[in-house]
Amino acid sequence: MAGKIRKIATEEAFSIPEVARELQKVARAPGDSADLPLVKGIYDAQPGYGDMKFLDGLLDIEGKRLREMDEYGVDIQLLSLTAPGVQMFDADTACELATLANDRLAEVISRHPARFAGLAAFAPQSPKRAAKEMERAIGKLHLNGFIVNSHTNNEYFDDPKFWPILEAAEALDRCIYIHPRAPSEGLKGPLREYGMDSAMWAYGVEVGTHAVRMMASGLFDRFPKLKICIGHMGEAVHFWIWRITFMNSRAQVMRRAPKTQLTMEEYFKRNFVITTSGVEDPLALDYSVRKLGADNVLWAIDYPYQPTAPAVAFMDAAPLSDADKAKVYHRNAERIFHIKPA
């Protein structure tokens, strides 16, 4: 390809001081959540994640981040409030901070409309207020979609209590990015040792479980146009999808799972897109594009948790046609997240 190809990175994390301060309180409160190692490390300077200086990178948007984007030719970062977002707070605090984070995000985008886009946070603790904030975030702030960090108080989107959120996303025609957080109470036990309660393994187990629960519950029959994005090369769900589909139809025959109009594979292809965040493996990319189609795979860095240079080098060297590379690098992000083509 002769000209420079537009690069839109789609899972790029930021925070604001007010959310960071509230997470420091979470770090100091008693609790046993699997998110605490990361929260204590990043927000309360305890050994571990804090050593990586992620907090500086999260709070900075217009300084080093923008310079690094320039250096590696990243045109746009689609920003999202970093995990666990507002989902560890009480409902009132969560609603308030989601609103504040969305306002700040809209401000920074208005200063750099050609460089940043953004996913709106909301508080699943209060689904009705969440739906209102979602409407405001699209209608008034013109943000590009939504971010949620998997479970909230150990509950998942197949629970009907969350339907106002899914209704809002579908009605607004905006995708919900289901980003990881550490696993829920019921999942965390054997994932605690050896650093496995992290992006090494547990994040994928958590979000993969969330995605399969949604498909197997039949909720996509109620919300056929709902779009869900999952990162980390689809959290491996499509690598398993043949077996998920086969065994789900068996579970349906045994009446252990609800009857669904479509198969699990059909839901995954219709209702999900995936991103490449944090997986720079050309074989995994090749499989993903062939299995799901080049229209359903989006490029991401996972800044500041992953470095920019190798994420760009990976996609530049990817074994894809120029047309497919343009889809993964920017066209799919433009379509799914309503980002104006250059």
Catalytic one among 173, 302, 316, 322? 302
Whether 173 sits among the annotated catalytic residues: the reply is no
Whole-Å CA distances, 168 to 76, 210, 233, 266, 332: 26, 19, 26, 23, 22
d(CA 276, CA 307): 13
The interface partner of residue 199, options being Mn ion, ligand 1DF, none and the CB cut-off 5 to 8 Å by kind, is ligand 1DF
- Cα angle at 45 between 40 and 50, to 5 degrees? 85
Out of 12, 235, 265, 302, name the contact with ligand 1DF by CB under 6 A. Answer: 302
Burial call 219-250: b when 16+ CB within 10 Å, e when fewer: bbeebeebbbbbbbbbbbbbbebeebbeebee
- Our finding on whether 145 is near ligand 1DF (CB under 6 A) is no
- Our finding on whether 180 is near ligand 1DF (CB under 6 A) is yes
d(CA 333, CA 189): 36
Measured at CB, which residue is nearest to Mn ion?
302
Amino acid at 233: M
Beta bridge partners of 146: 120, 176
CB of 12: closest distance to ligand 1DF in angstroms?
9
Out of 278, 308, 325, 328, name the contact with ligand 1DF by CB under 6 A. Answer: 278
Q: Contact region for ligand 1DF (CB under 6 A) — 196-204, 206-214, 221-229, 333-341? A: 196-204
Interacting residues of 238 by C-beta distance below 8 A, sequence separation 6+: 268, 274, 288, 291, 292
d(CA 68, CA 48): 25
Count of residues of this chain found to bind ligand 1DF when the rule CB under 6 A is applied: 13
CB nearer ligand 1DF, residue 38 or residue 121: 38
- Our finding on whether 311 is near ligand 1DF (CB under 6 A) is no
Out of 83, 211, 229, 292, name the contact with ligand 1DF by CB under 6 A. Answer: 83
Residues that bind Mn ion (CB under 5 A): 11, 302
The interface partner of residue 38, options being Mn ion, ligand 1DF, none and the CB cut-off 5 to 8 Å by kind, is ligand 1DF
Q: Contact region for ligand 1DF (CB under 6 A) — 132-140, 197-205, 257-265, 322-330? A: 197-205
Give, as ranges, the residues between 203 and 242 that touch ligand 1DF (CB under 6 A).
Answer: 203
Q: Is residue 215 within 8 Å of residue 234, measured between CB atoms?
A: no
- Our finding on whether 13 is near ligand 1DF (CB under 6 A) is yes
The encoded tokens of residue 86 equal 């507002």
Annotated catalytic sites, by residue?
302
